[in-house]
Structure 1
Amino acid sequence: MNRSIASGVLSVVGAKVIVLSVTVVTTPLLYRLLGAGGFGEYAFLLSVFAIYMIFVSSGITDGVRKFLAEDRNDPNWSESVVGFYFRLAAALAAVGALGLALAARFDLVAVAFGDELTIYFYALALLVITAQFRDYARKTLMGFGLERYSEPLTVLDKVCFVAVAIPLVSVGFGVMGALAGHLFASALVAITGLLLVHRRLSLSCVRSRSPARFPRKRLLTFNSMSVVLVFLLMSLYHIDIVMLQQFAESESVGNYRAALALAEFLWFVPLALQTVYVHSTSELWSNDRRREISELSSQTTRYTFLLTGVMALGLAALADVVVPLYFGSEAEPAVSPLLLLLPGALGFALARPILAVSQGEGTLRYPVAATGFAAAINVILNASLIPRYGMHGAAVATSVGYATMFVFHCWSARRVGFDPLSDARLGRTVATTLLAAGPIVALATAITNPWLALAIVPPAGLTIYLLFAVLVGALEPGEPFELLALSPDPIGSRADAVLRRLRNAGVAETHGGPTRNWLQNALFVLGLSLLLSGFSLGVLGPALDGLVR
């Protein structure tokens, strides 16, 4: 990963860490204030809105950041792209808002979802306009490579939402108060973002027609394929909630959404990579640097698996502790759906950066086909399992749909022209996760005090996981410092100094782990896993519990 891409990823990750931190605090607060039923209605409305917005904005947001990032000889290329997509965004926002308002006015919403939800769709109609220009402004800034501006806007959006929504919900405005928070935040971010775009490039270009040589057909073709792709992706995110609302009580929908919220915490780094890679790899594709693309993608797959794998293990081991502490005792039914969702969430995390690299190439038929296969499996399984098994059926169906995304997008990547598994060391990363699972789960089981478990298991689990990753060769000792060396100073310079010392000592690279033969190595790490599991269950856990008593 070169420094320019790394700086973009770090900007996005930094913003997502802040947003995630705010979300971690506010999601259980909203759950408690709205109750399981109100939270279920709120989740359902946001799912319907997200699906609806696919047809309003998805082609615009993907298109503007991709085509702005391309190298072009045309001196007016940026002005033409910005103006073209601004006019298209305004037209689609007006049509989209009018469509929702008319659906609410003429009782189409009442027929489809019930009278009690009709009033909310007027608020959603206004949200169409503000959300459209919020996303247009952010993605335009990203297309210019200005993640240092676009990503703080996501933080502003989240903070303003919380500042407005939580007080309104707490004084009795319920779901409408939460929607008002989204309206205020998105309007403020849209205005701020457009002003930042105007500083980079005058928005007077929106009044000028595109020149005759401007490739409108290519942009519109990309837009239409992006709409299809995002629709299929959003069906994976939201079809389970929409279908569950039709077959279960709002309380079940709320608890299932709580489980999804925890599972989706695994995605914050893969989402950052996906956000940056679409426009960053567009430049690599335009210069036909396929080998570099394969190296970038396969390393990303390996690092994503390792990072998301250890997070999934920790969350699974502590699920019965985290869920009631986080959402309250009312949410205890969310534990089992969470455990069912985690394997699929890991697969989806791996698929996200691969999909982004494929999008950067611009030919979307293979990514669309791959996502379509996974979406079809997801819909069929949800339709089959939800009526009989409720939220547990939704969790199984969604987990399988998520997991198949990784399989299908590996096939898609090879058809597009790169190999996301060339240095992924998939077998070794799977072995790392399986070997570390025993000691981590054993430690979480042995510690009965919930607060002590939250304090001890995550750092101990990370240490155990990294130990096995190095032993089996999934991770070289110097690789974490190579990644940190790409960071801005002072972190980058200090990591680079450590990396040089490791290389001078001859331990920065071990070329796949210990030098024993494979059978000796397998027996060694398996024995270590069993030893750590037994030690955690029989000695460490009881000893720690004894200390706090």
Structure 2
Amino acid sequence: MNRSLASGIFSVVSAKVVVLVVTAISTPLLYRFLGVSAFGEYAFLLSVFAIYMIFVSSGITDGVRKFLAEDRNEADWSEHVVGFYFRLAVLLAVLGALGLVLGAQSGLVAAVFGSGVAPYFYLLALLVISAQFRDYARKTLMGFGLERYSEPLKILDKVAFVVIALPLTYLGIGVAGALAGHLVASLLVTVAGLTLVHRRISLSCVFTRPTNRFPRKQMLTFNSLNIVLVFLLMSLYHIDIVMLQRFTDSSAVGNYRAALTLAEFLWFVPLAIQTVFVHSTSELWSQNRHRKISKLASKTTRYTFLLTAVMAVGLAALAEVAVPIYFGSDAEPAVEPLLLLLPGALGFALARPILAVSQGNGTLRYPIAATGGAALINVILNAALIPRYGMHGAAVATSIGYGTMFVFHCLSARLVGFDPLDDARLVRVALTTVLAAVPIFALSSGIANPWFALLIVPPVGFAIYLAFALLVGALDLTESFEVLAMLPDPIGSKADAIHGRLENSSERGPAPSQLQSLLFLAGLSLFLTGLVLGFLHPDQQLVP
């Protein structure tokens, strides 16, 4: 992973961290201002909108960033790509908006989803147009490698939504106020994003027709296949919400959405990696650097597994504490669905970077088959379990569907032409997770004060997990500083210097046995856990 790729990932991750913080603050407020039922209705509308936008937008956004990133020696290649996809975006946005208006006016929406949500579809029609060009502008900038511009636009989108939506919902405008927040925010990002694109390439190129040699057929084929892929992928996100709305009430949907919101926090780094990898690996595929791609994919799989697993363990250990504090006491029913969702969310996190590398290749039939298999399992299980078990059935079905994504996409990757498990060290990472989970859960259960638990468990748990990862061999000490060396200066340069010293010192005397170190740390962790429990609960016997 070179510094330019790392800087792109760092830009995306940084933006996602900011968005994550803003989301973490705003979501419980939105939950409280709307109420459980209205929050469930709002979540349902966003799920329907997300599925609908797949056919309007997904071929545009992934296509423009993939083909802009390709290294083609053709005259005015970038101008032709930008213009081609802009014209296509206009056409699909207009058709998409008209489709929603006609659906609402004809009574089709009321017949399918109920008369209560039909008026909101006029707002969604406006959002189709603004969201189309918001995403087009951002993904065009990413295709140029300008994540330093595209990612602040994502922050602008989230912050503007919060600034508009929270006051409106607080004043009692309800779901319409939340949708208005999305509409205004996307309009702001559209104006800013297209202005930045125009500075790079004049938007007058939208009026210039490329020559007959321009690969329209290849682009449209990629767009069509990508729509299928994204539809299958997004069904994993939203089909459970849509089916829950059909078989249960809005309160169950609202609590399940709350559980999903917390489980999806695990994905912010994998999604950032996926966002950058689609266009970054397109260049590597065009150069036939298969060995480099396998090395990059397998290391990314391992790092994603490590980071996501420790987050999953911490979230599971603190679920009963975090959910009521975060969403309020009304959300306590969301705890069990959250615990059921976490294993699948971990598998989905691992699948996302692998899928991105496959998308960069442009051969989508294998990723489509892999995603389709997981989506089919997800639909079948949701249909079987939701009518009987409600949101608990949805959580089990969705978790299994998410988990199969990783298995299927590992098989797909081999057919595409790379090995995402070459240096993934799955057994060592799994062992690290199991060993670290024991003291982390014991520490969480031993702290009676919920706020103190939220303060202490995450940093201590991360330190325990990192120590086990180093001793088991899931992570090398030099790799830790190698990753930090990719960050911008001054952190990157200092970490690079430490990394060099560690590599030079590796040839010195033999290191202690990893097994001995592991046993020592395991004993120390258990001892400290018992000590903490005894200190916090002196009247409680640790051993019956």
Residues in 2 aligned to 1:3 and 1:508: alpha-carbon distance in whole angstroms = 29
Q: Give the direction of change, closer, same or farther, for the CA distance of 1:526–1:247 in structure 2 (3 Å limit).
A: farther
CA deviations 1:393-436 (Å, max 9, x no partner) are: 00000000000000000000000000000000111011111111
Helix, strand or coil for the counterpart of 2:213?
coil
Residues in 1 aligned to 2:508 and 2:140: alpha-carbon distance in whole angstroms = 40
* Residue matched to 2:326: 326
Residues in 2 aligned to 1:506 and 1:345: alpha-carbon distance in whole angstroms = 37
1:532 aligns with 2:525: yes
Residues in 1 aligned to 2:24 and 2:219: alpha-carbon distance in whole angstroms = 38
Structure 1 residue 144, shift from structure 2 partner: 0.5
Checking the alignment, whether the CA contact within 8 Å between 1:239 and 1:379 is kept in structure 2 is yes
* Residue matched to 2:154: 154
Checking the alignment, whether the CA contact within 8 Å between 2:68 and 2:143 is kept in structure 1 is yes
Residues in 1 aligned to 2:35 and 2:517: alpha-carbon distance in whole angstroms = 50
Residues in 2 aligned to 1:491 and 1:264: alpha-carbon distance in whole angstroms = 29
* Residue matched to 1:79: 79
**Superposition map of 1:95-494 within 5 A:** 95-494=95-494
Checking the alignment, whether the CA contact within 8 Å between 1:472 and 1:514 is kept in structure 2 is no
Residues in 1 aligned to 2:468 and 2:346: alpha-carbon distance in whole angstroms = 19
Helix, strand or coil for the counterpart of 1:540?
helix
1:543 aligns with 2:535: yes
Helix, strand or coil for the counterpart of 2:171?
helix
Helix, strand or coil for the counterpart of 1:172?
coil
One-letter amino acid matched to 1:297: A
Residues in 2 aligned to 1:419 and 1:544: alpha-carbon distance in whole angstroms = 48
Residues in 1 aligned to 2:535 and 2:40: alpha-carbon distance in whole angstroms = 42
Structure 1 residue 495, shift from structure 2 partner: 1.0
Structure 1 residue 534, shift from structure 2 partner: 5.6
Pairwise CA RMSD: 1.6
Residues in 2 aligned to 1:255 and 1:531: alpha-carbon distance in whole angstroms = 39
Checking the alignment, whether the CA contact within 8 Å between 1:435 and 1:526 is kept in structure 2 is no
Structure 1 residue 448, shift from structure 2 partner: 1.2
CA deviations 1:10-47 (Å, max 9, x no partner) are: 01011111100100000000001011101000000000
Structure 1 residue 206, shift from structure 2 partner: 0.4
User: How many aligned residue pairs are there?
Assistant: 538
Helix, strand or coil for the counterpart of 2:35?
helix
Residues in 2 aligned to 1:219 and 1:526: alpha-carbon distance in whole angstroms = 56
One-letter amino acid matched to 2:238: H
% same residue: 72
Residues in 1 aligned to 2:118 and 2:401: alpha-carbon distance in whole angstroms = 31
Checking the alignment, whether the CA contact within 8 Å between 1:440 and 1:533 is kept in structure 2 is no
Residues in 2 aligned to 1:210 and 1:377: alpha-carbon distance in whole angstroms = 43
Structure 1 residue 486, shift from structure 2 partner: 1.1
Q: Give the direction of change, closer, same or farther, for the CA distance of 1:316–1:526 in structure 2 (3 Å limit).
A: farther
Residues in 2 aligned to 1:400 and 1:115: alpha-carbon distance in whole angstroms = 33
Structure 1 residue 478, shift from structure 2 partner: 1.6
Q: Give the direction of change, closer, same or farther, for the CA distance of 1:174–1:508 in structure 2 (3 Å limit).
A: farther
Residues in 2 aligned to 1:70 and 1:528: alpha-carbon distance in whole angstroms = 48
Structure 1 residue 500, shift from structure 2 partner: 2.7
One-letter amino acid matched to 1:25: I
Residues in 2 aligned to 1:471 and 1:119: alpha-carbon distance in whole angstroms = 58
Checking the alignment, whether the CA contact within 8 Å between 1:439 and 1:529 is kept in structure 2 is no
Unmatched 5+ stretches in structure 1: none
Structure 1 residue 526, shift from structure 2 partner: 6.1
**Superposition map of 1:8-19 within 5 A:** 8-19=8-19
Residues in 1 aligned to 2:523 and 2:394: alpha-carbon distance in whole angstroms = 34
Structure 1 residue 532, shift from structure 2 partner: 2.5
Checking the alignment, whether the CA contact within 8 Å between 1:11 and 1:148 is kept in structure 2 is yes
Structure 1 residue 211, shift from structure 2 partner: 1.2
* Residue matched to 2:88: 88
CA deviations 1:158-192 (Å, max 9, x no partner) are: 01000100011111100000000000000110111
One-letter amino acid matched to 1:60: I
Q: Give the direction of change, closer, same or farther, for the CA distance of 1:542–1:175 in structure 2 (3 Å limit).
A: farther
Which stretch shifts more, 479-488 or 270-279? 479-488
Checking the alignment, whether the CA contact within 8 Å between 1:477 and 1:509 is kept in structure 2 is no
**Superposition map of 1:496-507 within 5 A:** 496-506=496-506
One-letter amino acid matched to 1:102: L
Residues in 1 aligned to 2:197 and 2:527: alpha-carbon distance in whole angstroms = 58
Structure 1 residue 506, shift from structure 2 partner: 2.6
Checking the alignment, whether the CA contact within 8 Å between 1:476 and 1:509 is kept in structure 2 is no
Residues in 1 aligned to 2:500 and 2:149: alpha-carbon distance in whole angstroms = 33
Helix, strand or coil for the counterpart of 1:173?
coil
One-letter amino acid matched to 1:543: F
Residues in 2 aligned to 1:310 and 1:150: alpha-carbon distance in whole angstroms = 29
Q: Give the direction of change, closer, same or farther, for the CA distance of 1:440–1:184 in structure 2 (3 Å limit).
A: same
Structure 1 residue 465, shift from structure 2 partner: 0.5
One-letter amino acid matched to 1:222: F
Checking the alignment, whether the CA contact within 8 Å between 2:471 and 2:517 is kept in structure 1 is no
Q: Give the direction of change, closer, same or farther, for the CA distance of 1:509–1:467 in structure 2 (3 Å limit).
A: farther
Residues in 1 aligned to 2:521 and 2:159: alpha-carbon distance in whole angstroms = 46
Structure 1 residue 50, shift from structure 2 partner: 0.1
Residues in 2 aligned to 1:508 and 1:478: alpha-carbon distance in whole angstroms = 15
* Residue matched to 2:541: none
Residues in 1 aligned to 2:272 and 2:464: alpha-carbon distance in whole angstroms = 26
Q: Give the direction of change, closer, same or farther, for the CA distance of 1:177–1:507 in structure 2 (3 Å limit).
A: farther
Q: Give the direction of change, closer, same or farther, for the CA distance of 1:507–1:110 in structure 2 (3 Å limit).
A: farther
Helix, strand or coil for the counterpart of 1:225?
helix
Residues in 1 aligned to 2:524 and 2:379: alpha-carbon distance in whole angstroms = 43
TM-score, normalising length: structure 1? 0.96
Unmatched 5+ stretches in structure 2: 539-544
Residues in 2 aligned to 1:41 and 1:484: alpha-carbon distance in whole angstroms = 43
Helix, strand or coil for the counterpart of 2:471?
helix
